[in-house]
Amino acid sequence: MKNNLSEILSQIPALSEVDSDDLEEITNKVKLKNFSIDSFVFHQGDKGENFYVIKSGKVEILKKVDDKEKQVAVLYPDNFFGEAALINDNPRNASIKCLEDCELYVFNKQDFFDFLYL
């Protein structure tokens, strides 16, 4: 699965120029975390501390509009999210909620930046 993770990471625009050996090295720092159905990975407005790649399950992206959360997208295995808040150092621009039990690869902010500046 780690090789597959390297392939997924190489599709992220900010990482597209990183060499495959370096991508493989960074996958060794990844943690796998389980989230239960209906749990939130993070909420809109939270500080961005992690970047995620979906190993299994699916999540929905929710944005607050007039104090109500509206679904704007659904993400599936091999999709990624959370990079925008890390790159821009802004609060999360949406909430992520699990639509089923999920396994997510989690990169912390420092590891993510280590990879951008390899």
Any domain includes 11 = no
Domain that includes residue 112, residue range? 31-116
Instruction: Report which residue type is found at 26.
Output: I
Any domain includes 6 = no
CATH label of the domain that carries residue 75: 2.60.120.10
Across the chain, the runs of DSSP E, i.e. the strands, are 31-35, 40-42, 50-56, 59-65, 68-75, 80-81, 95-98, 102-108
Give the number of domains in the chain: 1
pLDDT by residue, tens only, the chain of 118 residues = 444 787 777 777 667 777 777 777 777 778 999 999 999 999 999 999 898 999 999 999 999 989 899 999 999 998 989 988 777 888 999 999 999 999 999 988 887 777 666 5
Contact 9, 26 (CB under 8 A): yes
